[in-house]
Amino acid sequence: MAKKNNFKSVRMSDQVMDYVINFEGDGFNQKFENLVLFCMEQEETRKQKIAFLNQQIAKQYKELDALRQLMSKIGDVRSALTNNLSELMNELLEDKDEDQELPFS
């Protein structure tokens, strides 16, 4: 363990004190140092995980945008087909009096 040549007095809230006291170690100083060392060790891992998750989120947003664009195109095709079908039905209905062979009245 490293030489401890830094002496400091610390004031803290009851909440922080309870947290430090509940951390592993034999005394307050060891618990406090263990807590800080634990946080230091976890910091880089957490930063890497956050970076990875941010990349995944960006990827998901791109996929979502692609799906929205596809849905928009499908909606345009559906609208065009519906309009064309409607126009065709109107033409057929207009011609029904002229052609008695049509299957509807």
In angstroms, the CA 2 to CA 80 distance is 75
In angstroms, the CA 80 to CA 86 distance is 10
Half-sphere exposure of 56 (CA within 13 A, CB side): 6
Res 59: pLDDT: 98
pTM for this model (two decimals): 0.53
**75, two tokens:** 């909606």
Residues 42-69 have pLDDT tens digits of: 999 999 999 999 999 999 999 999 999 9
Res 6: pLDDT: 84
Given a contact cutoff of 8 angstroms between Cβ atoms, the answer to whether 56 and 50 are in contact is no
**96, two tokens:** 């029904």
Q: Which residues of the chain have pLDDT under 70?
A: 1, 95-105
Res 22: pLDDT: 96
